[in-house]
Amino acid sequence: MFRPLSFYIGLRYTAAKRRNHFISFISLTSMIGLMLGVAVLIIVLSVMNGFDRELKEKVLGMVPHAVVKGDPYLADWETVDSRVTEHPRVLAAAPFIEGQGMVTGGGNVRGVLIKGIIPEQEDSVSIISSQMIEGSLGDLKSGEFGIIVGRPLAASLRLQVGDKLTVVLPEASVSPAGVMPRLKRFTVAGIFSTGAELDGNYTLIHMDDAGKLMRTGGLAEGVRLLVDDLFAAPAVVEEAALSLGGRYYISDWTRTHGSLFSAIQMEKTIIGLLLMFIVAVAAFNIVSTLVMVVTDKTGDIAILRTMGATPGRIMRIFMIQGAIIGVFGTLVGTGLGILGALYISDLISGLECLLNHQFLNADVYFISYLPSDLQWLDVAIISSAGLVMSLLATLYPAWRASRVDPAEALRYE
């Protein structure tokens, strides 16, 4: 059976028990370091991808991709709605009225964002329907003054569906009793949960009720757009507004949440580079391992040279030995990293239950759990980088082995 001599000898050197146990120890630590470096890098980048995905799907599924606003209201929001949807990159549009206020219930007070919507149209531009845990958007009826709140807000105010709460606006109304804040009693019609920070301060009411509460005279404040590409939202909303003519104010998600998205992208890049250094250090430990192996095997190298082995063959022997360490460490690390990325969310959830402590609080972070999104392109890049660095680490020791002078090596044997 044909077996390449370089591969056969390199494999024997790797598998053989060495007299110098320190060399074996260094080889093992190099392999383990490479495994851990590759695994940790895959897991961390998967978690960063998970945060990126959650930002797009959850946060940007709730907040508008882009909006077109009037000055201060849209007198003909129906026309604006139909005109902007004619743009080929606008998938849907829905009117809204937005304001800030306070809600009181259960003896507590919380500041909130109050958004008036038309349920039938809001469903086409938002993921809120899929995030409802009690009730539905359809439970918001014009004139019934129903309100939908997030789960953290409902827990803070000790509210359930059917309970009453009071909405207070920071605008005064003149009455026979004097100047009074504008307030209205609402009935909780539903509770939603996205797991994001906005659950604690986001409320939805029917747009007709919002118009009465905020005294807009039946006018909408603006129209919300859903575009086909998040990153094209600034250009799309500008083109849509220009096609309308007249004076409108435009905004998009990059102005409200763009800094958060940019921060995650930058953190992913920086953390990836830093962790890649761990892989590089582990890979280049192979250099020290092979240098010591070459020193230990100087006599063997000299004998092989006298038997006719060329410098190129000697070089391949030690490159193969280092490559075996690198390939094994990279492949095992890749496998561990894939398993870790697939189950890290469940592992952290179990750890939170065991310790009775939540690591990611929705009041502090924009989501309340650790997401993970394994991307095979990242796995391929990390594995390839580990293999390439491992092979590069074998070049100098292998070249040094090929330069051994047989006469000098065997002089004192």
Give pLDDT, residue 362. Answer: 59
Q: Does 2 score more than 50 pLDDT?
A: no
Give pLDDT, residue 179. Answer: 52
The model's pTM is 0.69
CB 326 within 8 A of CB 286: yes
Over range 98-105, report the average pLDDT: 88
> What pLDDT digit, counting tens, does each position of 138-190 carry?
889 988 899 999 988 888 888 889 889 988 887 765 555 555 567 889 999 99
CB atoms near residue 266 (< 10 Å): 10
CA 222 – CA 73 distance, rounded (Å): 7
Give pLDDT, residue 181. Answer: 67
CA 289 – CA 329 distance, rounded (Å): 14
Q: Does 388 score more than 80 pLDDT?
A: yes
> What pLDDT digit, counting tens, does each position of 253-305 carry?
888 777 777 777 787 788 878 878 877 877 777 787 777 777 777 777 777 77
Identify the residue with better confidence: 413 or 59: 59
CA 254 – CA 232 distance, rounded (Å): 10
Whether the upstream peptide bond of residue 72 has omega within 30° of 0, thus cis, is: yes
Structure tokens at 283: 């890979």
Q: Does 374 score more than 50 pLDDT?
A: yes
CA 135 – CA 47 distance, rounded (Å): 32
In 3D space, the residue among 188, 73, 190, 216 whose CA is nearest the CA of residue 123 turns out to be 190
CA 113 – CA 121 distance, rounded (Å): 19
